[in-house]
A and B are shown apart, each in its own frame.
Chain A
Amino acid sequence: MTSDARLEEALRSIGSELAPPAGWEDRVLAATVGPAHVAAPAPRRARWWMFAAPALACAAAAAVYLWWPRSTLPVQQLALAVSVEHGGPIVRGTTAHPGDTLVASTTGGAAHTAIWIYRDDHELVMSCTSSPCRVTLTARGDYSIVALSSDAPLPTPHGTLDDDVSAAAKSGATYTIEPVEVR
């Protein structure tokens, strides 16, 4: 057997004696029915009620709009624009490379707006309370740009996308998320 073949064979068998600890399947099943599982909504995940909820909200908003006195102006909806500067002209797109500059800007929204930028959902790269928000991309990863808007002051982000956005949503904020891949 050649040295390459021997190495590959050793790699194929590595860990072959290992087995999961006893009872692991029961622990997984228990975790899937526990309260923590039920109470762990992921804000970015599309579920049927996420489509139903906006439809109901739109219907309610239309009803309010029709019945409300005409002097009340509707608030302009929050919009997020993301672009990447590749060292030359600004190009819109969702892919970037280390060294590029990410520019995120918001329009509309309520009295308080913010832009939070995360890498790989777990690292808060930048938090801006004014638009535009610019950040130089130093590492590869899946970036998420979150624009938030609220009538009340927004909570302080702590660094985990799901937790921060959930906390903001609970406090009454609306948000939109744009992904950017940095490769």
Chain B
Amino acid sequence: MQLDEAIAPERADDPDQDVRDLIAVREHTRALRLLMQRHGAALYRFCREALRDATLADDVHQQVFIEAYRDFDRYGGRSTLRTWLFAIARHRCLDAAKGRTRWTSRFKNEAGDELSDPHPTAGERIDDARLRSSLETCLDELGEHVRTAVLLRYQQGFSFEDMSSVCREKAGTLQARVSRALPVLRACIEKKTGGAL
């Protein structure tokens, strides 16, 4: 994100206004600590599910905060700090995902084999454990941009307007992308489990 204003102006809807104040007076380490406390867990969940690789997610997750610390001076305040952090995270996840494409395709095949049910019952309602397991595999089969959009929307609860700031794409485009992904996910889950959602 290109956020080059020198000082973060007040923004009524940002629950991290106290952190913005710390950044404005260059109390960067204190600001970083607060951001890690408040958003560390959510960002970790996002990185883990976006990358589907614990080691890579650990690295990217920490890199997000290191990069945020380095770029505090560039934070312009046009988006909330949470949105800004997730924008960094999404960029870093997409970069990391590009670097392990071959590994991912191998992982997908293995995961698909593990989840195939030898005794599916047609029309049976899928239990929560199988839904959860197959959902993770099916998310992995979505494209990187689609998966991150779905996670931002549902796992992190972003509005499409805020997602627009994170992804630097139009809200309508993101809404259409997420809407198209849901039936794909549903079909994938039902195919893998042999049951009905």
Contact = CB atoms under 8 A, between A and B. Distances in A.
Contacts of B66: 28, 31-32, 37
Interface residues of B, number: 41
B36 interface: yes
Interface in A112-163: 120, 122
B166 to A, nearest CB: 15
A133 B165 CA distance: 33
Interface string A67-91: 0000000000000000000000000
Nearest to B136: A14
Contact of B32 (A19, A29, A42): A29
A4 B58 contact: no
A11 B150 contact: yes
A18 B48 contact: yes
Contacts of A24: 40, 44, 58, 61-62
A7 B95 contact: no
B191 interface: no
B70 A14 contact: no
Contacts of B36: 25, 28
A4 B182 contact: yes
A8 B154 contact: yes
A29 B37 CA distance: 12
Contacts of A31: 62, 66
A21 interface: yes
A120 B36 CA distance: 27
A37 B72 CA distance: 13
A19 B42 CA distance: 9
B41 interface: yes
B73 interface: yes
Interface string A38-55: 001010011100000000
Nearest to B61: A20
B65 to A, nearest CB: 5
Contacts of A27: 62
Contacts of A6: 131, 197
B161 interface: no
A16 B132 CA distance: 11
B78 interface: no
Nearest to B190: A3
B186 A12 contact: no
Interface centre among A7, A37, A40, A122 (most CB of B within 10 A): A7
Contacts of B4: 46
Nearest to A181: B168
A64 interface: no
A10 B48 contact: no
Contacts of A19: 41, 44
Contacts of A32: 29, 32, 66, 69-70
A28 B65 contact: yes
B45 A18 contact: yes
A43 to B, nearest CB: 13
